[in-house]
Amino acid sequence: MPGAGSERRALLSGFAGACRRRRGLACVQPHGEACARLRPVSDPAPSFAGDRGTARYYDMRAAEYDDWYVGAGAFAERERPGWQRELARLTELVSGLAPARTLDIACGTGFLTRHLRGFAVGVDQSSAMVAIAQSRLPHGLAVVGDALAVGMADLAFDRVFTAHFYGHLPPPERSAFLAEARRLAPQLVVVDSAMRAGVAPEGWQRRVLDDGSEHRVYKRYLSASQLAQEIGGSVLLDGDWFVAAEATAAGPPPP
């Protein structure tokens, strides 16, 4: 049986050719964007929603997750021109959505969920994330559950919302998510990370938490038009950092 050490070596060997700025290993980007020079050569098959390591990573990351949004902790030194301004735009977009019964799938800490108007329910597989999200939803609910098999009735909601989840999904999980979203609500709003220069459009990223633990996460970056096309909808936000799109049951099915 391979041990943790060999698993870690196998993981790191998947990033041969990566830059070696720190610790003599592949580029250390603390749970952030992919290093532009990160060139995976023997990646494991892409997986996110069903990946046990990914689940463990987000559960461990819950307490420090919002550092990414607010530019604290490991992100305090990160240069992200226009980030705060665009985050304010994104927040406005979320709070500007019409009041509705909304299910936020993979809600994380509820950082965006709390801005949804109407009755909001957040679902996430991490109990640590759900506890934080619930503390932010005095009039809503946060529950532990699987994004690809939410235990709620057909059309229980007016809208499915999801942020920084869809863009992590490889094709089979993407299809499963879109089918589940369509089953649950007639409207889907997806927020994700914008494609930009200097990031690999897709691949396994190496993430490091504040405790020094190392993880890997599969992620894509999307243009607004690509996101809209993939979900069979239209663009809501086309930013430097964030993109968003909306699809409705009345629109064409995703390709």
Ligand X SMILES: C[S@@+](CC[C@H](N)C(=O)[O-])C[C@H]1O[C@@H](n2cnc3c(N)ncnc32)[C@H](O)[C@@H]1O
Q: Which residues bind ligand X (CB under 6 A)?
A: 49, 58, 106-108, 111-112, 124-126, 129, 146-148, 163-165
Phi-psi category of residue 110: left, alpha or beta, with phi > 0 → left and psi -120 to 50 → alpha: left
Query: Which CB, 42 or 52, lies closer to ligand X?
Result: 52
Q: What's the closest the beta carbon of residue 5 comes to ligand X, in angstroms?
A: 26
DSSP string spanning 146-184? BTTB--S-TT--SEEEEESSGGG--HHHHHHHHHHHHHH
Residue 206: half-sphere exposure toward Cβ, Cα within 13 Å? 28
- Paired with 108 in beta bridges are none
Q: What's the closest the beta carbon of residue 64 comes to ligand X, in angstroms?
A: 12
Query: Which CB, 130 or 247, lies closer to ligand X?
Result: 130
Residue type, 206: R
What SS3 class is residue 45? Answer: coil
Q: What's the closest the beta carbon of residue 212 comes to ligand X, in angstroms?
A: 20
Q: What's the closest the beta carbon of residue 246 comes to ligand X, in angstroms?
A: 16
CB-based closest residue to ligand X: 108
